[in-house]
Structure 1
Amino acid sequence: MAEYLSPGVYIEEIDAGPRPIAGVSTSTAGMAGVTVRGPYTGKPKLVTNFLEFQNTFGGFLREPDPLIRDTWANDPAEGGRWWLFPLAVKGFFDNGGQRLYIKRVASRQASPSSGVLGHGLVSPVARDAAKGATRLELGHLIGFSGVGQQIQLFRGDDQQSIHTAGVAAYDATARRIELDAPLPAEVRAGRGDYVQIGTRNAEETLEFAAVSPGSWGDGVQVRIQPMASAALPVLPDPQEGALFVTRLAADAAADSETVEVAAVTGLDPDELPPDVWVQIGSSRFKVQLSQPADGKVTLTLPSGTAHEAWRSGLLVRRVRRGTTSAGPTLRIGGASRLYEGAVVQLDDGTHLTIRTVESIAADVVTLDGNVPGTLFETDRLQLVEAQVDARFTDPSGAVETETHRNLRLTGDTAANLVTTLAVRSRLVRATALGALSTDPAKFPLPAVGSWLTLGGGDDAYGSLSVADFVGEDGGSGKRTGINALEDIDEVAVCAVPGMWSGTVESALVTHCELLRDRFAILDPQDGLDIEGVQAFRERFDTKYAALYHPWLVTRDLSVGRDAEVPPSGHMAGIYARVDVERGVHKAPANTVIRGIRLTDGIAQDITKRHQDVLNPKGINALRFFPGLGHRVWGARTLSSDSSWKYVNVRRLFLYLEESIEEGTQWVVFEPNDEALWSLVRQTVTNFLTTVWRSGALAGTTADEAFFVACDRTTMTEDDLANGRLICAIGVAPVFPAEFVIFRIQQKSRETQLA
């Protein structure tokens, strides 16, 4: 209750009455099955169309080896055709399904593809170069030492050597090098040609593995290379003094040792050091200043300096040094981007040098060695980190690629390579090994080429068992198989397509009976005759599942031929479609089956006489009617209790129970008195009234359709003393018109007299 302790105006929010109950979704499905690839651990993944399923879990499965196939397909008690799972998923979406949670099933003996990297340094060719060229554009120059360095150039396809040469000049910004000997053959970026520095070492630095088990990972390739994640400006030493910008006051001949510039503020020889660096055009020179005369200052270049002719008016600006004495410190703009242990590369124009950051204080960065050469304020310090590229080529030739930038090889941070791949990559995981180093010259590298191809993945289909489909309950996010569907509360329909194993289907039924918020669709064995499917049905008695017979015939696009598929995937899609179009109270029957062959889309012809035997036993028939197509012609559960013999009645009550449960959570721990009871009654009544108006409940009035009681008649003093609030609800469901009977009789003509 609000406190009023001082005079004033108080604004309060009060409850306006009963809280609305939102109906839960009934069209979300969950399935467990074998896929080509995809996440094996963690919670089931949501897919909303078949393309998304293919991108996440791969496409269609190939039929396994005959021995494995026959072991499963010829076992009437514990068998199944699990390799048809992707076709069932396609059937779900073909028939109107929109949301499907997939839990991948894999053998416990399955292993992921993997590969180990040694170390060395390569840089990919970024642009083609013709035979006889001396200029190469590379992917990076990180780890290069500069002028005079020897490089080897290799072809990317067969790893044959193309050329060995020295670096005559380089441009780190443009990632370009000049060779001291022309190329003897063309160089092609598209072929994967690359430059190698030094030799490769087999010491193990990183191990990459496919993100999930299976032979699919043998199509994964990984490349790791150094990258400049930041280029930070060098700040001038405070002792360097002021900056000046002027222009040539007169033309200067080529290679002349003196030039005249206009005197400007800051250009005072008495206040500047004896040696000043200036930039004229695109070149940098160390000059000496002479006293101004007639508003001009003379700049004397070092003897023997070569340069082109300069015209009057050319811009001349002072370039201040970053350091005036040897030492390990340097002032850097944006130093906050750096961190202790960061690897940086410095460029003094002729040499590239690697250093490691030891400490940072404001903009002063201390390195693990003296700053090399002379650095100027126009220079940049490059922060060196790693980039991982991964690509996967599936059997159809489609390529999936991903790139992860700005990664740290070591350190316990979110930007660490191992940590980042574990969170973001859909293809690979990494493990750091003993020889891993942050030195760019010892970057992780495969024994051959620049891409590491993973290998050794095994689906281990020979050891796949029904236990893998049932799964284990390791707790939230750690469950496998059917048990993992418990992690997704939204699932209302579930199936394990293609599996007729008694152990698997019993586990699926038990799963639904324990959670009491979902309904199972079971598959019979393929090829069963009428007696066989009746015998198969005898093992079940549950109001939480339905059985459909026979199997369907669809086109398997992966092999270009027709294939018989289990009906559960198509039926789950039909459940979802009917729920959206009509409502959960509508029986999912007398509905066209989509995504199957237009003629002979049902594997066996079921006649009315056949169904006269099947229907009373709760076996729902899939039939063909001329002019009406292939239709679902049954809506019964597998329950012996006649109160729950219809699928739509059972699912309607699941919908009502789950909606009321989730919509009345606010009631818990409220004062258990008449005011609360009234709110509960009104809340549930409002919800059921909406349900009744949608046509889900029988009755011409709301009073005929349902009742809600929550008062002294439903609770005793003992209930109240033990914290129990009891609300009694009764609803009258609408039963399907399963048998439509028209009674026709002859009628005698009656003569009417005028």
Structure 2
Amino acid sequence: MPEYLSPGVYIEEIDAGPRPIAGVSTSTAGMVGVTARGPSVGKPKLVTTFLEYQNTFGGFLPEPDATVRDAWAGDAAEGGRWWLFPLAVKGFFDNGGQRLYVKRVVSAQALPSSGTLGEGLVSPVAAQAARGATTLELAHLIGFGGVGQQVRILRGDDGQEVHTAVVASYDRAARRIVLDTPLPAEVRTARGDYVQVGTRGAGPTLRFAAVSPGSWGDAVQVRVVPVVSAALPVLPDPQEGVLFVSRLVADAAQDSDTVDVAAVPGLDPDELPSAVWADIGGTRFRVQVSQPADGRVRLTFPTGTDHPAWQSGLAVRRVRRGNVAAGQTLRVGGASRLYRGAVVQLDDGTALSVRTVGAVAADVVTFTAPVPGTFFETDRLHLIEARVDTRYTDPAGASVTETFDGLRLAGDGDTGLPVVLAARSQLVRATALPGLSTDPAAFPLPRTGSWLTLENGDDAHDRLSVGDFTGTDGGSGRRTGIVALEDIDEVSVCAVPGVWSGTVESALVTHCELLRDRFAVLDPQDGLDLEGVQAFRERFDTKYAALYYPWLVARDPSVNRDVEVPPSGHLAGIYARVDVERGVHKAPANTVIRGIRAVDGIAQDVTRRHQDLLNPRGINALRFFPGLGHRVWGARTLSSDSSWKYINVRRLFLFLEESIDEGTQWVVFEPNDEALWALVRQTVANFLTTVWRGGALAGTTADEAFFVACDRTTMTEDDLANGRLICVIGVAPVFPAEFVIFRIQQRTRETQIA
């Protein structure tokens, strides 16, 4: 009860009456089968188009080798043609299906493709260089040592050496090196040529594996390259004093010993060290500062300094040092971007050096080794991290590429390489090995080239068993096979296309009977005659499944020929289409089958006389009618109970039960009295009225179509004392017009006597 403790205005919300019940979806399907690739662990994945299915699970499957094919296709009791699963999925979408949850089946012995990287340093050539050239533009200079370092230029196609030379100079910003000797042959980017520093080590550093088992992973390639994640400015040492920016007050001749600049704040010889560094015309010079008699400030160069001629007015700017004395620290702008163990590259103009961060305190960065050389405030400290590139091309030619930047080789934080790939990559997973180093000169690298091709993936189709289809229950998100469909409450139609194994189809039926919110579509063995399909049907008696005969004929794009395909995928799509266009109360029959061959799209002809034998036994026929095409010509379940012999009646009740169940959860723990009973009656009655008006219930009035009772007549005192609210609902479903009979009789005209 609300409390009113002080005077004022109180605004309150109250319930205005019964709460609406929203009808659940009945067109979402779930299928279990073997795919070319895709996730084999976790919950079933939703796909909404066949293209999305191909992107996630790959394309069509080739027929397995004769031994495996014959072992499965020739087993009448526990066999199947599971390699037709992608064609069944295509049939689902061809026939109007919109939402499909797919659970991939893999053999327990299947293995993912894998590969291990060694160590080394390479940089791909970024621009072609002609024979005789001495300059090479590279993808990066990370890990390079600078002037005097020996490098090897190698071909990207066969790994043959093009040239060995020494770096005469470099430009880190332009990623360019100048060689001491000219190239004896051209260097090509299209060939994948690259520069290698030092030798490659065989010590394992990173192990990559395809994200899921199967031979598909043998087409996956991966590489790890060093990248600059951040360029951070070096800050001046506090002992350096203030900055000044001045200008030349007179022209300066080439190689002159002195220049005169205007006096500006901060440019005071009495307060500055006798020697400072200044930027003149884009070049850094060490100069001595003095005050001439006329009030100008004079900068004196060391003896023998070379410089060009300068004109009056040229800017002169002091460049302060970042490290006045030798040590292991530098002040760095944006130091918060760094972390303990981070690898950075420093450039003093003649040498590139690598250091590891030991600690970061505010803007002071401490390295694990002394800082080499002298660095200035115009210099940059480059944070070196990793980039992982992956690529995959499926047999149909479709390709997938991924790029992950700013990864840490060491550590398992949010940006750690194995962690990021586990969370984001659709192709690979990585494991750090003891030999992994953060040194750019020993970066993870394959034994040859720059891309690692995964290998030794195994589908283990020869060890696939019916147990892999039925699955195991490891808990939510860890279920396999048919059992995994339990993780998706939205599934209302389910199938295991192409598998007629008694164990598998019994497991599918049991799954539907236990959950009581879904319906199964079963496939018979292919090639059965009338006696064979009737014998196949004898093993089932359930109101939660339907059987269709015979198989269909569709085009397999992977081999460009017609093949027989199981009907369950196409029928699940028809269920979805009829539900959307007409409603779940409409029998999914007398409907055109799409996605099959236009002529002879049904594997075996079924005539009316044939169906006279099949229909009473609950076997739904797929037939061809001239002028009407290929149609579904049956709507019966596999139940011996005549009350549940029609598919649409069974599925209508599944729809009503699930909708009422989900729409009345608010009732739980409410006070169990007359007020609640009235709300429940009105809530359910409103929902059933909507269903009746949609044509799903028989009767000219709502009272003829249904009744709802929830009062003292449905509950005893014992029920109330034990917390039970009992609501009795009766509905009159609309049965399909399965037999349309027109009785015609002949009448003769009788003479009328006045």
SS of the aligned residue for 1:670 comes to coil
Alpha-carbon displacement from aligned partner over 1:696-730 (angstroms, at most 9, x marks no partner)? 11111111111111111111111111111111111
Relative distance call for 1:753 and 1:312 in structure 2 (3 A) is farther
Displacement of 1:446: 1.1
User: Are 2:570 and 1:570 equivalent residues in the alignment?
Assistant: yes
Describe how 1:571-590 pairs up with structure 2 within 5 A.
571-590=571-590
- How far apart are residue 752 of structure 1 and its match? 8.2
Assess if the C-alpha contact under 8 Å between 1:121 and 1:445 holds in 2: yes
1:74-122 superposed Cα distances (whole Å, 9 cap, x missing partner): 1111110000000111111111111111111011111011111111111
> What's the secondary structure of 2:235's corresponding residue?
coil
Q: CA deviation at 1:528?
A: 0.7
- Opposite residue 377 of structure 2, the aligned amino acid is E
Q: How does 1:128-527 map to 2 (within 5 A)?
A: 128-292=128-292, 294=294, 296-527=296-527
- Residue 560 of structure 1 corresponds to 560
Provide the C-alpha distance between the structure 2 equivalents of 1:391 and 1:22, rounded to a whole number of angstroms. 45
Cα displacement (A) at 1:218: 0.6
Q: Is the 8 A contact 1:553 1:597 kept in 2?
A: yes
Distance 2:175 2:732 in 1: 77
User: 1:576 Cα deviation (Å)?
Assistant: 0.7
Cα drift, residue 542 of structure 1: 0.5
Inter-partner Cα distance in structure 2 for 1:654 and 1:84:
30
- Secondary structure of the structure 2 residue equivalent to 1:616: helix
- Partners of 1:521 and 1:295 lie apart in 2 by 100
Provide the C-alpha distance between the structure 1 equivalents of 2:16 and 2:91, rounded to a whole number of angstroms: 47
Deviation at 1:265, TM superposition (A): 2.3
| 1:172 shift after superposition | 2.1
Amino acid at match of 1:35: T
How far apart in 1 are the matches of 2:309 and 2:536? 97
Q: Does the CA contact (< 8 Å) of 2:59 and 2:396 recur in 1? A: no
What is the CA–CA distance in structure 2 between the aligned matches of 1:589 and 1:130, rounded to whole Å?
Answer: 72
Where 1:234 maps in the other structure, the secondary structure is: strand
Change (3 A) 1:753 1:181: farther
User: What is the rounded CA distance, in whole Å, between the counterparts of 2:357 and 2:6 in structure 1?
Assistant: 60
- Determine the structure 2 residue equivalent to 1:592: 592
After superposition, what is the alpha-carbon deviation per residue over 1:541-599, rounded to whole angstroms, capped at 9, x for unaligned?
Answer: 00000111111111111011111100001111111111111111111111111111111
SS at structure 2 position matched to 1:658 = helix
Q: CA deviation at 1:684?
A: 1.1
Matched positions, count: 754
**Does residue 659 of structure 1 match 2:659?**
yes
Q: What is the TM-score normalised by the length of structure 1?
A: 0.98
Instruction: Tell me whether 496-505 or 141-150 shows the greater mean CA deviation.
Output: 141-150
TM-score, normalised to structure 2's length?
0.98
Is the 1:492–1:517 Cα contact (8 Å) retained in structure 2?
Answer: yes
Work out the CA distance in 1 between the residues paired with 2:523 and 2:39: 25
Superposed CA deviations along residues 404-455 of structure 1, whole A, max 9, x for unmatched, are 1111112131111111111111111111111111111111111111111111
Larger mean CA deviation between 743-752 and 160-169 belongs to 743-752
What per-residue deviation string (whole Å, max 9, x for no partner) do you get for residues 14-69 of structure 1?
22221111111111111010011110111111111111111111100000001110
Amino acid at match of 1:675: A
- Retained in 2: the 8 A contact 1:263–1:292? no
- Alpha-carbon distance, 1:751 to partner: 7.1
Confirm whether residue 113 of structure 1 aligns to residue 113 of structure 2: yes
**Displacement of 1:532 after TM fit?**
0.8
Paired AA for residue 169 in structure 1: S
Shift in Å, 1:750: 6.4
Q: In percent, how many aligned pairs have the same letter?
A: 80
- What CA distance in whole angstroms lies between the structure 2 residues aligned with 1:518 and 1:422? 34
Deviations along 1:357-379, whole A, 9 cap, x unmatched?
11111111111122221111111
CA, structure 1 residues 305+397, in 2 after alignment: closer, same or farther (shift >3 Å)?
farther
Q: CA deviation at 1:600?
A: 0.7
- After superposition, give the CA deviation of every residue in 1:137-169 in whole Å (9 maximum; x if it has no partner): 222211111111111111111011111111122
The aligned amino acid for 1:568 is S
The residue type equivalent to 1:259 in the other structure is V
Paired AA for residue 140 in structure 1? H
How far residue 205 of structure 1 moved from its aligned partner, in angstroms, is 1.0
**Retained in 1: the 8 A contact 2:134–2:183?**
yes
Residue 510 of structure 1 deviates from its aligned partner by 0.5
Amino acid at match of 2:498: G
Indicate if the aligned counterparts of 2:412 and 2:418 stay in contact, CA closer than 8 A: no
Question: 2 CA distance for matches of 1:752 and 1:595?
Answer: 62
Structure 1 position 261, deviation (Å) = 2.4
Aligned partner of 1:125 in structure 2 is 125
Partners in 2 of 1:706 and 1:130 — Cα distance? Answer: 87
Aligned residue type for 2:375: L
Matched to 2:624, the amino acid is: F
Which amino acid is 2:648 matched to? N
Comparing 304-313 with 462-471, greater Cα deviation is found at 304-313
| Residue identity matched to 1:693 | R
- In the alignment, the residues of structure 2 paired with residue 339 and residue 603 of structure 1 have an alpha-carbon distance, to the nearest angstrom, of 67
Question: Separation in 1 of the partners of 2:735 and 2:669?
Answer: 38
Match of 1:707 in 2: 707
* Alpha-carbon distance between aligned partners in 1 of 2:245 and 2:187, rounded to the nearest angstrom: 43
Supply the distance in 2 between the matched residues of 1:248 and 1:583 (Cα, whole angstroms): 88
Give the Cα–Cα distance (whole angstroms) in 2 for the partners of residues 216 and 188 of structure 1.
Answer: 31
Structure 2: any 5+ residue segments left out of the alignment? none
- Separation of aligned partners in 2, 1:229 and 1:108: 41
1:348–1:373 CA contact under 8 A, matched in 2? yes
- How far did residue 753 of structure 1 move? 9.9
Distance 2:473 2:534 in 1: 33
Taking the aligned partners of 1:308 and 1:612, their CA distance within structure 2 comes to 105
Who is 1:37 aligned against? 37
1:691, 1:432 → 2: CA distance?
A: 59
Which residue in 2 is equivalent to 1:3? Answer: 3
Alignment of 1:647-686 (within 5 A): 647-686=647-686
Q: Distance in 2 between matches of 1:669 and 1:107?
A: 46
Q: Conserved in 2, the CA contact under 8 Å of 1:321 and 1:377? A: yes
Q: Which moved more, 1:450-459 or 1:306-315?
A: 306-315
Q: Indicate the SS of the match to 1:116.
A: strand
Q: Is the 8 A contact 1:551 1:603 kept in 2?
A: yes
Distance across 2 between alignment mates of 1:311 and 1:394: 64
Partner of 2:637: 637
- For 1:540-551, what aligned pairs fall within 5 Å after superposition? 540-551=540-551
Relative to structure 1, the CA distance from residue 290 to residue 665 in structure 2 (aligned partners, 3 Å threshold; closer, same or farther) is same
- Listed as ranges, the gaps of 5+ residues in structure 1 are none
Matched, 1:56 2:52: no
Which residue number in structure 2 is paired with residue 535 of structure 1?
535
Amino acid in structure 2 at the alignment position of 1:171 = D
The superposition leaves residues 367-409 of structure 1 with CA deviations (integer Å, 9 ceiling, x where unpaired) of: 1122221111111111111111111121233321101111111
Please state how far the C-alpha of 1:267 moved relative to its aligned partner: 1.9
171-180 or 720-729, which moves further after superposition?
171-180
1:293 Cα deviation from its structure 2 partner: 5.5
Summarize deviations over 1:308-344 as a string: whole Å, max 9, x none. 3333332222221112111111111111111111111
* C-alpha distance 751-181 of structure 1, shift in aligned 2 (>3 A): farther
Q: Which amino acid letter does the alignment assign opposite residue 107 of structure 1?
A: S
Alignment partner of 1:316: what SS? strand
The residue type paired with residue 736 of structure 2 is: P
Counterpart residue identity of residue 630, structure 1 = H
Runs of 4 or more off by more than 4 Å in structure 1? 292-295, 750-754
